[in-house]
C-alpha cells in the first residue's frame, strides 16, 4: 500500500462534520461519496450549493466537485468503498444518554450491503460513548450473519475536533488526529487517508491558507475506547474552562474587577492558555451540552461521580440567564418593554442555533411579557423555521432591531456588531441600554455614545 494512493471513501451523514470532511478529502484527491437520507440536502449539494454556513466551504465544494459526489443511496456506492465513515448525528436523549439510533441504522445498512470479499474499513467519526465502536461491529455482524456471511472487517474510532465557523481550517490544519484501532491494517488505512494532512503535502486552498509556523499534526494512535473517551474529555474540559471563567466573572463584578483583563492576565500563562477563557452568556451548540450530559450519564452508569463536570453544567445553566438578570437590574420592569436581540447563532460564523443561549433568553423574555425583536446576519432563517410559533419580530438589520427598543442584548459575537454606528442606533432607541453578553464592544465608546453599558463580569 502506497501512502500517496488515493482511496474510495463513502461518508454517511452530510452535516457539519460529514460535509466538511467529504469536501476536504475530495480536495486532497480521494474519491468521495457523501450520503445523506435528507433528499433536499442532496439536491442542493449536487447543484454546488452548501447546506450549511461555513466560511470557505462553498468555494471548496466547487474546487473538489470532480472528486465528490452526493447521493441518497448508500447501498450502491458501498460496493467499491475502501473506507466508510459514519458521521451522523448523536443527539442527547431526555436522560442525557446518547441516542445511537442513527449510528446503528447506518451500521445495519452497511451490514446488509457490504461486499464481504473486499470489506471496507468502518470509521466512526460521530461523537459516541465508549463501547460504540464495538456496538457498531456487533450490529454489522448481526446483518452479515443473516446473509450467512462471516464477520471479517474492522471498526476504527476517529473522533472529530473541528469547530463550526473554522471547520475547513481545523480539518486541513488540525492539532492532532486521533485514531482508535485494534489492528495495524486499519491504522495504516486511516494514516493513508490523512497522509496529505499529516505530511502537509497539499496545495492550500486560497480561501484557507496554511498558517505560518504550522507544524505537522500528531497522529495519536490508541484503542477505540481511549479514542472515544478522548473526545468527551476534550469537550468536557473546554466547557469547564468556559464555565470556570464565567464563575469568576460573577466575583469580578462584585469586587469591581474586569474579567476581560483578568482573563488576559491568566491566559498568558502557557500552562493555562488564552483559549476558552472568554466570559459570556454561556456555552451552547450541538456538541458541548449533549457531550457533557453524555459523559455524566456514562459516569453514572459506572457509579463514577463527576462533580467538576456536573458543576460546569450547572454554572452554564445559570449563566444563560445572566442577560435577563441584567435587564431586570437596568430596566427594573421587563414586562411591556421592547428588547432587541443581536445574535441567534450559538457563536459567530455559523448558522447553527442548536442549544444557543439565545433560545433560553428569548423564551424567558417572552414569558416575562417583553416584546422581542431579533436579528442575526446568518442564523435567522434557521431560527424562524425551528421556532415558527414564537411571537418575535424578525428584523432585517441591527439598526431595525434597535429602533424603539428599551434595550439591546448581544448574544453572538458576530464581527458585524463591531462596526455598527452606535450613536445613530442609540438615537432611535427608547432607552440607550445595552447588555453585551459577549464582552465584545468597546465600553468607553458605547458610554460616549450615551449608552448605559453592561457586560459580563466587568
Residue numbers at the binding site for ligand NAD (CB under 6 A):
12-18, 35-38, 41, 87-90, 102, 105-106, 126-127, 160, 162, 164, 286-287
Distance (Å, whole) CA 345 – CA 376: 7
The residue nearest ligand NAD at its CB is 15
458 within 8 A of 252, measured Cβ to Cβ: yes
Nearer to ligand NAD, 14 or 454 (CB): 14
Output 13 or 280, the one with its CB closest to ligand NAD: 13
Give me the least distance between CB of 331 and ligand NAD, in Å please: 35
Q: Closer to ligand NAD at the Cβ: 40 or 66?
A: 40
Complex with ligand NAD: residue 35 or 313, whichever CB lies closer: 35
How far does Cα 100 stand from its chain's mean position?
18
Instruction: State the nearest-atom distance from the C-beta of 105 to ligand NAD, in Å.
Output: 4
Phi, psi at 39, each rounded to 5°: -60, -35
Residues 34-59: b if buried by 16+ CB within 10 A, e if exposed: bbbbeeebbeebeeeebbbbbebbbb
In the sheet with 338-342, reading across from the earlier edge strand, the strands are 393-394, 371-375, 338-342, 407-410, 433-436, 452-454
For ligand NAD, the closer CB: 7 or 287? 287
Cβ of residue 286: shortest distance to ligand NAD, in angstroms?
A: 5
For residues 48 and 91, which CB has a smaller minimum distance to ligand NAD in the complex?
91
> Phi-psi category of 256—alpha, beta or left, where left has phi over 0 and alpha has psi -120 to 50?
left
- The span from the CA of 151 to the CA of 162, in Å, is 32
Cα 443 to Cα 176, 435, 447: the distances in Å are: 38, 11, 6
CB of 386 to ligand NAD, least distance (A): 13
Q: Cell match 418575535: residue?
A: 392
Helix (H, G, I), strand (E, B) or coil at 49: coil
Least distance to ligand NAD from the beta carbon of 252, Å? 30
Q: How far is the CB of 130 from ligand NAD (least distance, A)?
A: 14
How far apart are alpha carbons 278 and 246 in whole angstroms?
8
**What is the separation, in whole angstroms, between the first and last Cα of the chain?**
58
| Least spacing, CB of residue 224 vs ligand NAD, in Å | 15
- Smallest gap, in angstroms, from Cβ of residue 115 to ligand NAD? 19
Active site residues per annotation: 287
CB 375, CB 397: distance < 8 Å: yes
Greatest CA span in the chain, whole angstroms? 77
C-beta of 155 vs 259, nearer to ligand NAD:
155
Spatial distance between the Cα atoms of 27 and 46, rounded to a whole number of angstroms:
16
Distance of alpha carbon 222 from alpha carbon 23, whole angstroms: 26
Helix, strand or coil, per DSSP, at residue 399 = helix
Query: Residue 13 or 457: which CB sits closer to ligand NAD?
Result: 13
**Residue indicated by cell numbers 455524566:** 296
Residue 356 backbone dihedrals phi, psi, to 5 degrees: -70, 140
* 116, 141 contact by CB (below 8 A): no
How far, in Å, CA of 422 to CA of 65, rounded?
A: 43
Task: Tell me 154's DSSP state.
Answer: -
Instruction: Give the phi and the psi of residue 144 in degrees, each rounded to 5.
Output: -65, -40
Kind of pairing, strands 371-375 and 121-124?
A: unpaired
Our CB check for ligand NAD shows the closer of 114 and 405 to be: 114
Name the packing angle between helices 132-146 and 224-255 (round to 10°): 140
Minimum CB separation of residue 204 from ligand NAD in Å reads 22
Amino acid at each position: 500500500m502506497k501512502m500517496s494512493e488515493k482511496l474510495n471513501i463513502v461518508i454517511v451523514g452530510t452535516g457539519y462534520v460529514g460535509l466538511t470532511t467529504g469536501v476536504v478529502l475530495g480536495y486532497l484527491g480521494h474519491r468521495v461519496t457523501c450520503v445523506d437520507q435528507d433528499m433536499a440536502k442532496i439536491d442542493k449539494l449536487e447543484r454546488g450549493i452548501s447546506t450549511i454556513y461555513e466560511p470557505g466551504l462553498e468555494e471548496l465544494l466547487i474546487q473538489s466537485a470532480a472528486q465528490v459526489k452526493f447521493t441518497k443511496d448508500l447501498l450502491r456506492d458501498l460496493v467499491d468503498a475502501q473506507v466508510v465513515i459514519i458521521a451522523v448525528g448523536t443527539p442527547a436523549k431526555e436522560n442525557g444518554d446518547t441516542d445511537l439510533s442513527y449510528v446503528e441504522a447506518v451500521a445495519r445498512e452497511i451490514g446488509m450491503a457490504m461486499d464481504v470479499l473486499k470489506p471496507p474499513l468502518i470509521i466512526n467519526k460521530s461523537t459516541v460513548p465508549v463501547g460504540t465502536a464495538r456496538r457498531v461491529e456487533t450490529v454489522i455482524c448481526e446483518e452479515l450473519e443473516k446473509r450467512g456471511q462471516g464477520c471479517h472487517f474492522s471498526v476504527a474510532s476517529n473522533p472529530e475536533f473541528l469547530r463550526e465557523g473554522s471547520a475547513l481550517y481545523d480539518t486541513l490544519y488540525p492539532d492532532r488526529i486521533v485514531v482508535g484501532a485494534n489492528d495495524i491494517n486499519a491504522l495504516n488505512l486511516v494514516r493513508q487517508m490523512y497522509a496529505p494532512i499529516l505530511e502537509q503535502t497539499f496545495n492550500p486552498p486560497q480561501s484557507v491558507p496554511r498558517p505560518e509556523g504550522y507544524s505537522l499534526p500528531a497522529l495519536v494512535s490508541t484503542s477505540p475506547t481511549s479514542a472515544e473517551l478522548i473526545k468527551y474529555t476534550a469537550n468536557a474540559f473546554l466547557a469547564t474552562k468556559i464555565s470556570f471563567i464565567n464563575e469568576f466573572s460573577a466575583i469580578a463584578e462584585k469586587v469591581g474587577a474586569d474579567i476581560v483583563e483578568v482573563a488576559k492576565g491568566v491566559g498568558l500563562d502557557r500552562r493555562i492558555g488564552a483559549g476558552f477563557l472568554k466570559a459570556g452568556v454561556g456555552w451552547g451548540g450541538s456538541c458541548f451540552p449533549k457531550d457533557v450530559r453524555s459523559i455524566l450519564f456514562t459516569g453514572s452508569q459506572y457509579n463514577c461521580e463527576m462533580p467538576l463536570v456536573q458543576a460546569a453544567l450547572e454554572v452554564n445553566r445559570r449563566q444563560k440567564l445572566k442577560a435577563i438578570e441584567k435587564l431586570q437590574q437596568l430596566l427594573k420592569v421587563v414586562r411591556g418593554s421592547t428588547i432587541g436581540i443581536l445574535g441567534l447563532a450559538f457563536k459567530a460564523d455559523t448558522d447553527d442555533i442548536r442549544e444557543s443561549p439565545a433560545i433560553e433568553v428569548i423564551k424567558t423574555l417572552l414569558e416575562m411579557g417583553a416584546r422581542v425583536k431579533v436579528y442575526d446576519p446568518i442564523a435567522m432563517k434557521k431560527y424562524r423555521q425551528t421556532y415558527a410559533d414564537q411571537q418575535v419580530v424578525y428584523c432585517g438589520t441591527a439598526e431595525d432591531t434597535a429602533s424603539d427598543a428599551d434595550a439591546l442584548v448581544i448574544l453572538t459575537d458576530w464581527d458585524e456588531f463591531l462596526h455598527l454606528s452606535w450613536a445613530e442606533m442609540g438615537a432611535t432607541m427608547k432607552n440607550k441600554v445595552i447588555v453585551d453578553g459577549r464582552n465584545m464592544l468597546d465600553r468607553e465608546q458605547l458610554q460616549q455614545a450615551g449608552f448605559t453599558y453592561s457586560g459580563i463580569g466587568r
